[in-house]
Homo-oligomer: A and B are copies of this chain.
Amino acid sequence: MKMYKQMSREELLQEQQALQQEYKGYEEAGLQLNMARGKPESAQLDLSMPMMDIVDSKSDCTAEDGTDCRNYGEMDGLPEAKKLMAELMECKPEQVIVFGNASLNVMFDAIARALIHGVCGGKPWGQQGKIKFLCPVPGYDRHFAVTECLGIEMINVPLLEDGPDMDMVEKLVAEDPLIKGIWCVPKYANPTGISYSDEVVRRFAKMETAASDFRIFWDNAYCVHHLYEACEQQDRLLNILDECARAGNPDRVLEFASTSKITFAGAGISAMAASENNLNDVRSIMAIQTIGYDKINQLRHVRFLKDRAGVDAHMMKHAAIMRPKFELVEQLLEQEIAPLGIGTWTTPRGGYFICFRSMQGCAKRIVSLAKAAGVVLTGAGAPFPYGKDPENAVIRLAPSYPNLEELTMAAKVFICCVKLASVEKLLG
């Protein structure tokens, strides 16, 4: 195969014709496939069905500390649930509060709370002028939607192979006291799949910030979501809570995690880990905002997953379903796209996404071609604040939801669309 860039106009036109033929075939097949969202497949959900029997009508619903999980009380979460979530986040139970089913909601509330009440006794963010968040890109669209919704300005920072561009991060936070936060998915990042290096974590912990009320939003969404079992094939992340404490900035970070992609998407439990000062901020408002979170579901999770070893074993069952999907997509891309020089992609060792980078200016066209052929992809631009990808090149691929057969077809359609859009681009 010849690289597209080396093809003559004649050759490109010929290629285009063949691709249009192939594309027409997909269009006519009336496909309905979806690679848009990091949604577990139903076989993954089946893995947690035994949890449904764990708390039954005969069960004692008393927690370790004597709490009746069926009644009001225990705002912090059950002691055993705090312990479990602490094991996931590799911190201490006393650093953890357990919430309801959505960690996104916990992050939203954390920012809303800071806007209205400030953090740790500081002036409310909302009374300090137009505040800003740093957004490593490409990143998670829902993080950016939260900051935008709450009226916070977003500043792009490139996400490199080992984390955000820390030279840039350090410079910006040292200069501007209106920069109050940064969004991070530090392990198996959404969407590139990279994990932050020890060096990056340490620089985050140590850096000087102009704002004394600056917070890192450390969304450790994929903390145990490996694709491979062997230790050397798993990413490891340095514990930022420890590093921040060691660096004399114990209140700098709010860490989040959930079981949404461990047990049931939308029916899991979520948690925040942070310093006592930060947790007390949460508690002071949470006690007014709600009567507490669903403790029966916390109990269900603890009795089903048991501990970190239980979680790890369970996650390997997920990996067995997910891994072939990642490998399939990567193999097809390697086979079909690599020789043509019209795209690059990540090969993550965990998480939910492959990040594809097309030739500049092609992403929107690829997504729209795929949609017209019945394959829904994450919107082009979604991994960027305000939905604006300056290079119009990044596409997030979510291979988890379709089964292998559907995924093969979806990947073929995607590849055809990448080729078609690239040819169009080169033909000008």
**In the complex the two chains form, is B102's CB within 8 Å of A70's CB?**
no
**Are A104 and B291 also in contact (CB < 8 A) when A37-B72, A71-B39 are?**
yes
Contact A265 B150 (CB under 8 A): no
Write the nearest CB–CB distance from A163 to chain B, whole angstroms. 25
Q: Do residues B291 and A267 form an inter-chain contact, with CB atoms below 8 A?
A: no
Q: A229-263: contact bitstring with B at CB < 8 Å (1 yes, 0 no)?
A: 00000000000000000000000000000001000
With A50-B57, A150-B116 already in contact, the answer to whether A266 and B295 are too (CB < 8 A) is yes
Q: Is A68 an interface residue (CB 8 A)?
A: yes
Q: Taking A39-B72, A42-B71, A71-B42 as contacts, is the C-beta distance between A102 and B52 under 8 angstroms? A: no
**Chain B's nearest CB lies how many Å from the CB of A139?**
15
**Contact residues of A between 129 and 166, Cβ < 8 Å to B:** 142, 145-146, 149-151
Q: Collect the chain B residues with CB atoms within 8 Å of residue A45's CB.
A: 68, 70-71
Q: Are B57 and A53 in contact (CB under 8 A)?
A: yes
Q: Using a CB-CB cutoff of 8 Å, which residues 242-298 of chain A contact chain B?
A: 260, 264-267, 285, 288-297
**Interfacial residues of chain A within 359-388, with CB under 8 A of chain B in the complex:** none
A48-88: CB near B (< 8 Å → 1, else 0) gives 11111101110100000000111111000000000000000
Q: Are B290 and A70 in contact (CB under 8 A)?
A: no
A104 to B72, CA, bound (A): 13
Q: Which residue of B lies closest to A46 (CB)?
A: B70
Q: Considering the complex, give the chain B residue whose CB is closest to the CB of A71.
A: B265
In the bound complex, what is the Cα–Cα distance between A356 and B282 (angstroms)? 34
From known contacts A71-B45, A108-B289, A266-B71, infer whether A151 and B294 are also in contact, taking CB-CB under 8 Å.
Answer: no
A293 to B292, CA, bound (A): 15
List 15 additional A-B contacts (Cβ < 8 Å) besides A70-B264, A70-B267, A142-B291.
A45-B71, A50-B57, A52-B56, A52-B57, A53-B57, A72-B265, A72-B266, A73-B266, A100-B100, A101-B291, A102-B291, A102-B292, A142-B288, A264-B296, A266-B293
Could you tell me the distance between the alpha carbons of A112 and B105 in the complex, rounded to whole angstroms? 14
Q: Which of B105, B115, B292, B296 meets A290, CB within 8 Å?
A: B105
How extensive is the interface on chain A, given as a class? 35 or more
Query: Is B42 in contact with A68, judged by CB distance below 8 angstroms?
Result: yes
A40: CB under 8 A from chain B?
yes
State in angstroms the CA–CA spacing of A294 and B99 once bound together. 12
Nearest first, the 3 closest Cβ-Cβ pairs linking A and B are A105-B290, A45-B70, A49-B57
* Docked complex Cα distance between A351 and B265 (Å): 35
What is the minimal beta-carbon distance from A59 to any residue of chain B, in angstroms?
7
CA distance A102 to B109 in the complex (A): 15
A52 and B59 form a contact (CB under 8 A): yes
Interface mask (A292-328 → B, CB under 8 Å = 1, otherwise 0): 1111110000000000000000000000000000000
> A108, B49: Cβ atoms under 8 Å?
no
Q: Are A52 and B55 in contact (CB under 8 A)?
A: yes
The answer on a CB contact under 8 Å between B69 and A116 is no
Complex Cα–Cα for A102 and B57 (A): 23
Q: Which residues of B contact A115 (CB under 8 A)?
A: 116
23 pairs from A and B in contact (CB 8 Å cutoff): A39-B71, A42-B70, A45-B71, A48-B70, A52-B57, A53-B56, A56-B56, A70-B266, A71-B264, A71-B265, A72-B265, A72-B266, A100-B294, A101-B292, A101-B293, A102-B293, A104-B290, A112-B112, A112-B116, A264-B296, A266-B293, A267-B294, A267-B295
Q: Is the CB of B285 within 8 A of A149?
A: yes
Q: Give the residues in chain B near A100, CB-CB below 8 Å.
A: 100-101, 294
Q: A142–B291 Cα gap in the complex (Å)?
A: 9
Tell me if B297 and A108 are in contact (CB < 8 A).
Answer: no
